[in-house]
Chain A
Amino acid sequence: MDARIAMKLLVVTGALVSAAVASGGVATAQLTTIPTLPTTTTELMTTTSTTSSTTTTTTTTTVDPGDPPAGGLSISVPAAADLSPGTPVNAGAVTAQLGPVTVTDARTGLIAGWTVSVSGSDFTAGAGTPAETIARANVAYWSGPATATSGPATFLPGQLLAGDAASLSAPRIAFSALTSAGGTSATWVPGLVVSLPLTSITGQYHGTITHSVA
């Protein structure tokens, strides 16, 4: 009798497995992959079901509960920002507030945090002649402190104070979150300091700052 019930239970497991396969929908030969799993708990469940069903068919080893995985890693849409207008060309430097940047990590499972790097272009005016170009080495970025954070992580602003502003001659780490878990987010309002070379001439300068998070 034990055996029969055990059989029944196996059949139930089998049915679940095949249902999951069916819900998988169109199978394409091109895919070599399975959906990501949402949580560690589910991962454990999958592992268990995998172990118990490996004996039946090969297909079952790839099946997962098909729970919708939670969100991904996101970055906010940038706000418009200007170099403070009307700065005299001999002022030495011109600044800008870049507007808030928010990174949200809604990935789940064991992860190793996220890093935001920042890079910059030269700032040019008019035709971009040498006199109308401010090299990006003269452009400095400072993240400032986090204005808001959430989740379990150590949040590290790249350049806490204006005095820490880093030249964008090379990409810099603007912000990072050290953690073992998802569900973190941070917002900061970076500032820009553009040193004006003595050779600069009057003009409407324009440049681009890129935030990259992965």
Chain B
Amino acid sequence: MTASMRRLLAALAVAAVALATPAPAFAQQQTPGLSIRLVDAPTNRKDDPRARIYVVDHLQQGDRIARRIELGNGTDAPLPVTLYAASARIEDGQFRFGEGHVANDLTSWTRLEPGHVVVPAHGTATTTVTVVVPNDASGGERYGVVWAELPSSRGSAAVVNRVGVRMYVSVGSGKEPVTDFRIDTLTAARDEEGRPVVRTVITNTGGRAIDLAGELRLGNGPGSLSAGPFDVQLGTTLAPGDEAPAIVRLAKDLPDGPWDATVTVRSGELVKEAKASITFPSGAGASAKPVVAESVEQQRRVLIPAAAALAVTVLAGLTIYGLRLLRLRRSERLRRVLTAA
């Protein structure tokens, strides 16, 4: 079977299981101004929370994908909106938007239809993003943003506001590169003002960009104290091979420790946890020796078995209920027969 045939078959298989859904009502009261939302997520990424808010996909040369994007207007007046794709890149652990309409490979493969729309007051409008990867595209991951841009405000310092959906499109003929990362060490330190901080380094060891969020918990401290969770301040996006420092700032009156520190970092459905025993040094600007973080078993699929167990319990309950109902009916029938006799 040739690659193109296989691709065609795959496309047909996907098309066969594809569903269109009616545009759901928009939660207007929650989103003042102009809002944007990805409506379609690929079926093979249903477990990936990132794929529900961003256009995330791995495509082969010649592939074509289409995603709907919904715009919502939370204001009392119609909003004329311009739609376009513009470049983005990952730099210094940040997903950085290109200025204006600056293009790259990905945006040149991307079309928006319609490209201009008037969103009615308290209403919604839909546009479709289509990405067609040329047959001669080179492999690798590319980034962009689908922007919905409001008209410029009046005045001599005019303001243009735009809101977008990020795109992470990986191109390659083979299987999708893995998504993976590593938490290296934990370092307890104090900043210039003497506040305790925990520093760690996250390395993207996979072949795709990751969006990181995380938290730190402290346990087993002096007097069995525990603290947290504290948000980890991360550069939010890491390109493949990149590493980024992450910092957690803590309250000044926190005891020195020792503490059992657990850092949980997540990108989409991939969750990593690392543990280390740390003690904060005394003195502003001081830093303890970095402690190698011990990786905790991946938590990735913990919730799914839990949900399955719940489902089994509910099914068992229903079965018992059904059995009882049947038994009741049968005894009633028996009683009726007996009464008739």
B69-86 interface (Cβ within 8 A of A): 70, 72, 74-75, 79
B213-237 interface (Cβ within 8 A of A): 213-215, 231-234, 236-237
Residue pair A74, B18 in contact (C-beta under 8 Å): no
Residue pair A81, B159 in contact (C-beta under 8 Å): yes
Q: For the complex, is A77 an interface residue (Cβ under 8 Å from B)?
A: yes
B148-156, B192-200, B251-259, B272-280 - interface stretch: B148-156
For A30, the chain B residues whose CB sits under 8 A away are 15, 18, 66
For A112, the chain B residues whose CB sits under 8 A away are 50, 211-213, 236-237, 267
A72 and B30 CA atoms in complex are apart in Å by 9
- Given A47-B307, A96-B157, A210-B162, do A34 and B319 touch, yes or no (CB 8 Å)? no
Q: For the complex, is A91 an interface residue (Cβ under 8 Å from B)?
A: no
The interface of chain B, by Cβ under 8 A from chain A, is 11, 13-22, 24-28, 30-43, 46-47, 49-50, 52-53, 65-68, 70, 72, 74-75, 79, 94-97, 99-100, 145, 147, 150, 152-166, 211-215, 231-234, 236-237, 266-269, 303-304, 306-308, 310-311, 315, 318-319, 322-323, 326
A-B contact pairs, 13 of them (CB 8 A): A23-B21, A28-B20, A43-B46, A52-B311, A61-B17, A72-B72, A77-B161, A80-B154, A81-B153, A83-B157, A104-B30, A112-B213, A178-B232
Most chain A beta carbons < 10 A, residue from B13, B20, B211: B20
Contact residues of B: prevailing secondary structure: mixed
Q: For B15, give its contact among A32, A35, A113, A208 (CB under 8 Å).
A: A32
Residue pair A33, B162 in contact (C-beta under 8 Å): no
Residue pair B160, A208 in contact (C-beta under 8 Å): yes
Residue pair B157, A73 in contact (C-beta under 8 Å): no
Count residues on chain A whose CB falls below 8 Å from chain B CBs. Answer: 94
18 A-B pairs besides A28-B20, A81-B159 with CB distance below 8 A are A1-B326, A5-B322, A30-B18, A32-B43, A36-B37, A44-B306, A62-B18, A69-B24, A71-B28, A73-B163, A74-B34, A75-B150, A78-B153, A115-B95, A179-B213, A180-B213, A208-B158, A214-B166
For A202, the chain B residues whose CB sits under 8 A away are none
